Amino acid sequence: MTTGLIPGEQPPDPRPTSGLPHQWREPVGHGIMPVENRPRSSVITARAAASFEPVGRSVASARSFVRDTLQGWGFADIVDDAVVLTSELVTNAVIHTSTWADLLCLRCDAGVRIEVTDRYPEREVPLRGPAADMGGPDREGGRGLQLCAALAGRWGVEYTPAHKTVWFQLDVPERPVGARSAGPVLPSELLPIADARVRVAVVQIDRIGAISSWNEDAEELFGYTVDQVIGKPLTDLAAWPHTPGTGTGIAEALQLSRWEGSYGIRDTTGRVIPVYASHLRVRDTDGDPSTVCLLVRDHERAVLQTPLRVPSDSAASSESQSTDPFEVFIGSPAPDDLDSLLQRTVERARDMLDGDSAFLLLATDDETELEVRASTGLPSTRQRFARVPVEAGSGRYSSARMPAVHDDLAALPGAVPLLNGTGMRSVVTVPLKVEGRLTGSLGVAAEGAGRYSNEEALRLQFAADRIALAVESARLGELERLRRGSLSFLVEASDLLAGTLDRDQTLALMAQMTVPTLATWCAVYTIADQASEPYLSYVLHEDEELIDGIKSLLSKIAPPDPVPTPGARVWSAPGEVAHQAALRTSMRSLGLSSSPGTRVAPGIGPTLTTASAVGGETVVLPLVARNRVIGMLTLGKPADEHFRQEILELAEDLSRRAALALDNARLYSERTAISQSLQRSLLPPELPVIEGVEVEVIYRAAGEGNEVGGDFYDLFPISDGAYGFAIGDVCGTGPNAAAVTGLARHALRLLAREGLSGPAVLERLNSAILDEGARSRFLTLLYGELRPQEDGSAELKVVCAGHPLPLRLRQDGTVEPAADPQPLLGVLEDLELYEQTVTLDPGDVLLCVTDGVTERREGTRMLGDDGLADVLTTCTGLTAGAVAARIMRAVERFASDAPSDDMAILTMRVPELHQN
C-alpha cells in the first residue's frame, strides 16, 4: 500500500487496525484525503543502488553515495535536499531499526526519485491525524517524514511482508534557456585582469594540421600576417609543454573533438607567448574535418575556460571540510583490499556515467602492458588478467596515456580489444597517473552509440585523479605481500628440490609446487639430449580425475619448441585441439558427423570436461640448465582464464631452480649408474656350485650408494676338483679402496690358474700392490684352495696374511682358529709366507670374516674375536646359509648405529654323511 501527499498538505498518520499492519483506516471526524499513488509517467533514464549495513558509519556513506550520484548526473541544484532526506531515512533504518538499508536512486526527465528500504516492516507510520502527532523537531522518531513533507515534491511509504520503503521525489528547477553555468556576483577587486581590449585569436586548422584561417586578433597577438602563416603547420608555431609519462602533443590535441588547455605560441621575434586555448573539432563545407582554435593570453583564460564542476556540499559544510576527495567518489568506508577497491571503482564509474559496463586495467612495472583487474557488465572470467599493450591499448589514438572517447566502436572494430564481442558501442577511457607515471586505465562503455562526449571524459578523469593514488598505494601493498609470499614460496621450493637427487621425484615436486599455487594444471616435458625430441614426462591437475584426459590430449599434440629464450610464451595448441575435439564429439553425439557409418558417441562429458580444463591461457617456460634446454614447464588455466604477470614472473624463477635440480638429478643418476656398473664388476658374477660343500656369502658395503668398498670376496674354480677362495680387506672404504679390490681379485684368479701355490700367489700380488706407488694401500687377505675328498671331507690349504683368523666349528660345538697369522700385503717388499692345511670333516663349518664384523662397536664395547666365537658356537647343525645369516644378525643387533665399515662373511660347510 502506498500513501502520498499533495505538496502543502499534512503528512499521513496511518495506524494499524485489528492487528493487521497493512490495513489502514481514516480517523473519525476527518474527511478522506486524496492519496497519490507512485507516479508511473516519468521515464527512468538512469539508476544507482547501494546497500548499507546497520552501523553508524553507513549514514555518512549513504550521504556520500547520493551526493556523488547526483553530481554525476548533473543535478547539483537538488543535492543538498536529497542528502538531508537520505541521511534522515537511512538513520531511521540502520540506527533505529538496526536493519540493512537498501538505497535506490532513479533519474527521470522531471527530477530524481530516491527510495530507502529497511527490513523491519512492523514499524509503520502513524494513522493520519493532526500534525502534532508526528512529534516535535526535537523528537528522535518521525522527523524524516516531516522533512519529506517539507522538502520533497512527492513522497510516500510502501509496505511488503518483508520490507518497508520510504520514497521521495525531487524536481529539478527550470533554468533559463541556454544557461549552462553561472557564477556568483564578485567584488570588483576579485575579477580577472584583462588588457584594454581582450583579443581572441581565431585560427582554423585543416585536416593535415595546416593553418587555413587567421584573424586580425591573431595578427595582433603574434605578429604574423595571414600570408605568412596560411598553409603552415600549427606545430611550427606552437611551443608544447612536455608532460612526463605522456606522448601527447599539439598534433594529437588537434585531433580531439574538444580540448582546453595551455601552451605557447612563438611570435615573430621568437618569444613564446603563453596562451589558453579552446579547440573544437568541426567539419568544413566540403565535409572534411578541421579544428577551430580560440586563443587568448594565458592570464585572460577566464574568457574561454569552462568552469570546473565543483561538488556542492553546503548542507554538510562542517563534514565536507574534513572529507577526503577519494571517499567522495569511492564511498566510506573504503575497501581494505585491492580487488574490492577496484571493483567498487568500476561500479561507481559505471553508475556515474550511466554506463552499461566499466573496466579498470593496471599497468605492469615496466608500463608496457595493461592488465585487466576489475570489470562490471562484462564477462569478467574471460577478461580477468588479460593483457593489452599500452601503446595499442584502449585509447583512440593507439595509446592509453591520454583520455579517449569512442562514439561508435562499430565504425572502428578492434579499437578497444577488451570490448570485442560484448555488444558495447560507445566508450570513454581515461588514464590513472601518479606523479606523471601511467599506473592504469579506467573505462566506461555503453551499448548505445554516441553516448559519451568530452564532458563525460572530463568527469571520469576527475574521478580517476581522485582514486589514482589510493589504487597505486593498494597495488603496491598487494605487490609487496605477493613478493614476500613469493620469496617464502621460492625458499620452500628450493629446499624441497635440493632434498632429492631422484629424477622422478624431482619431476613430481615441480608439478606439485605449481598446482594449484600457480596454475590449474601442469605438464613437464624433458629432453634427454640435443638430438632427442621433447618427451611428456609428467602431468598434474588439481582434479586428479582430469589427469588422464589431459595426458591423452597432450600426447596427440606436437610438443612445444624447445626455445631457450627466458620467460613465458603463450602456447595455443592445447586449447585449440581440445576445442576441436569437443566440437567433433558434440557433432557425433548429435548425429551430425559427415563421415558415413560413424557411430554415435556414448557421451561427450569427458571430452567437454577436458576442453574446459585446458581452454584457458597456456604458457610454456623453458627449463635451461648449464646453457642447455633440458625440458619445458607448461602451465595452464581452465576456460577463459589468464595468468597474472606476477604469477608468470614467479613461475619463471621457479623454472630456473627446477631446471637446475632436474639436471643435477640427471647427472647424479648417470654417475650412480656408472659407479654401480663399475662396482658390480669388482664382485664375482656368481658363486660356483661345489659338490659336497655348502658355500654362502653375505656382503655389505659401507656408504650410501656403494655396492663395493674395501672388503671383497671371491670363489672360483682353479682346476678339476680344486677351487680357490679369498676374502680380503683393503685399507679404507669407497672408490679408492675399490680400485685396489679390483686389482687383488683379478690378480688372484690369474695367478692361481697359472698353477702357483698359495704363498707364491700372495707374494706376487704383494709386488703388484707396491708397484701402484702412491695409489697403493695395504691389504689383509685370507686365501686358500679347497678340494673336496672322496670320503666326504674337504681339504683346505690356507694363507692368512694379516687377516682375522678363520674359525672352525666342529660338530661338538667347539670353535678354534683354522690358521696362524702372517704379515699383511702392500707393506713389505720381501715376504716369506707359508700355507697351512685344514681338513673339514662332515658337519664342520669354516667361518671367514673381515674386520668390519669383529670391530663392530657400541660405545666402548667391541664384538671382537671372542664375541664372534661365542656366536658361532650356537650355530651347530645349521646350514652354511643359516650360519652366515645368524652371524650378520648378531653383528647388526650388537649396535644401534649403521655400520661404518665394509663387512664380508664367507661360510663353507661340509654336509653330514647320511647312512642308508
Separation CA 40–CA 4 (nearest Å): 14
**DSSP letter (8 states) at residue 320:** H
Least confident of 375-379, 629-633, 756-760: 375-379
Residues 158, 35 contacting (CB under 8 angstroms): no
> Is the pLDDT at 207 greater than 90, yes or no?
no
**Element housing 433 (H / E):** strand 426-434
Separation CA 361–CA 342 (nearest Å): 9
> Is the pLDDT at 249 greater than 90, yes or no?
no
pLDDT number for residue 221: 92
302 confidence band (pLDDT: 50, 70, 90):
confident
pLDDT number for residue 303: 86
Residues 121, 162 contacting (CB under 8 angstroms): yes
Residues 654, 871 contacting (CB under 8 angstroms): no
Supply the pTM of this predicted model. 0.46
Residues 6+ apart with CB under 8 A from 310: none
Residues 521, 549 contacting (CB under 8 angstroms): no
> Is the pLDDT at 105 greater than 80, yes or no?
yes
* Percent of the chain predicted with pLDDT > 70: 79
Task: Tell me if residue 44 falls in helix, strand or coil.
Answer: strand
423 confidence band (pLDDT: 50, 70, 90):
confident
Residues 337, 322 contacting (CB under 8 angstroms): no
* Residue of 493, 538, 490 lying closest to 511 (CA atoms): 538
Residue 764 corresponds to which amino acid?
R
pLDDT 10s digits, 899-915 = 777 888 999 999 987 64
Mind spelling out the 3-state secondary structure of 598-616? CCCCCCCHHHHHHHHHCCC
**How far is C-alpha 402 from the chain's CA centre?**
30
Burial 707-717 (b: 16+ CB within 10 A, else e): bbbbbbbbbbe
Residues 6+ apart with CB under 8 A from 774: none
Read off the C-alpha cell for 122: 512492523
Residue range 332-345: mean pLDDT, rounded? 76
If you average pLDDT over every residue of the chain, what do you get? Answer: 78
Separation CA 433–CA 390 (nearest Å): 13
Separation CA 472–CA 713 (nearest Å): 75
**How far is C-alpha 365 from the chain's CA centre?**
16
Separation CA 522–CA 538 (nearest Å): 8
**Element housing 144 (H / E):** helix 143-151
Separation CA 820–CA 798 (nearest Å): 9
pLDDT 10s digits, 30-67 = 333 333 444 444 678 778 888 888 877 788 788 888 88
Q: Does residue 817 have a cis bond before it (omega within 30 degrees)?
A: no
Residue range 12-39: mean pLDDT, rounded? 35
Residues 6+ apart with CB under 8 A from 575: 614, 615, 616, 618
Could you give the count of Cα atoms lying within 13 Å of 647 in the half-sphere of its Cβ? 19
* Residue of 671, 674, 705, 655 lying closest to 506 (CA atoms): 655
Query: What length does the chain have?
Result: 916
Find the helix packing angle between 573-589 and 547-555, rounded to 10°: 100
> Is the pLDDT at 324 greater than 70, yes or no?
no
> Is the pLDDT at 262 greater than 60, yes or no?
yes
Residues 417, 395 contacting (CB under 8 angstroms): no
Instruction: Write the CA distances from 333 to 447, 474, 916, integer angstroms.
Output: 32, 15, 106
**514 phi and psi, to 5 degrees?**
-90, -25
What sign results for the dihedral spanned by CA atoms 416, 418, 424, 428? Answer: negative
Separation CA 691–CA 843 (nearest Å): 15
Separation CA 111–CA 105 (nearest Å): 11
Read off the C-alpha cell for 549: 584426459
> Is the pLDDT at 312 greater than 80, yes or no?
no
Instruction: Please give the residue that has the higher pLDDT: either 18 or 565.
Output: 565
Strand order in the sheet with 404-406: 387-389, 369-376, 357-363, 437-446, 426-434, 404-406
pLDDT number for residue 329: 63
> Is the pLDDT at 512 greater than 80, yes or no?
yes
Read off the C-alpha cell for 825: 700385503
* Residue of 811, 808, 879, 810 lying closest to 846 (CA atoms): 808
> Is the pLDDT at 228 greater than 70, yes or no?
yes
Residues 6+ apart with CB under 8 A from 104: 47, 48, 49, 114, 115, 117
What is the DSSP secondary-structure string of 525-577?
A: EE-SSTTSPPEEEEEEESSGGGHHHHHHHHHTSPPPP-----S-EE--HHHHH
> Is the pLDDT at 309 greater than 60, yes or no?
no
Read off the C-alpha cell for 483: 613478493
pLDDT 10s digits, 819-840 = 999 999 988 888 889 999 999 9
Residues 430, 401 contacting (CB under 8 angstroms): no
Instruction: Write the CA distances from 357 to 48, 344, 368, 864, 880, integer angstroms.
Output: 13, 13, 25, 88, 88
Instruction: Write the CA distances from 825 to 743, 767, 782, 786, 903, integer angstroms.
Output: 13, 9, 11, 22, 19
* Residue of 536, 532, 503 lying closest to 522 (CA atoms): 536
- Measured between alpha carbons, how far apart are the two ends of the chain, in Å? 119
Residues 831, 823 contacting (CB under 8 angstroms): yes
- Bridging pattern class, strands 694-700 and 535-541: unpaired
pLDDT number for residue 882: 94
**597 phi and psi, to 5 degrees?**
75, 10
Could you give the count of Cα atoms lying within 13 Å of 525 in the half-sphere of its Cβ? 26
Count Cβ atoms within 10 A of the Cβ of residue 720 and give its class: 0-12 exposed, 13-18 middle, 19 or more buried.
exposed
pLDDT number for residue 37: 43
pLDDT 10s digits, 838-892 = 999 999 999 999 988 998 888 888 999 899 999 999 999 999 999 999 999 999 9
**98 phi and psi, to 5 degrees?**
55, 45
pLDDT number for residue 326: 55
Least confident of 458-472, 552-566, 707-721, 759-773: 707-721
pLDDT 10s digits, 690-745 = 999 999 999 887 765 555 566 888 999 998 889 999 999 888 666 667 777 778 88
> Is the pLDDT at 652 greater than 80, yes or no?
yes
Residues 884, 904 contacting (CB under 8 angstroms): no
Residue range 216-236: mean pLDDT, rounded? 92
Residue at grid coordinates 614460496: 489
Residue range 155-165: mean pLDDT, rounded? 85
Residues 429, 403 contacting (CB under 8 angstroms): yes
122 confidence band (pLDDT: 50, 70, 90):
low
Longest CA–CA separation in the chain, Å = 149
pLDDT number for residue 694: 94
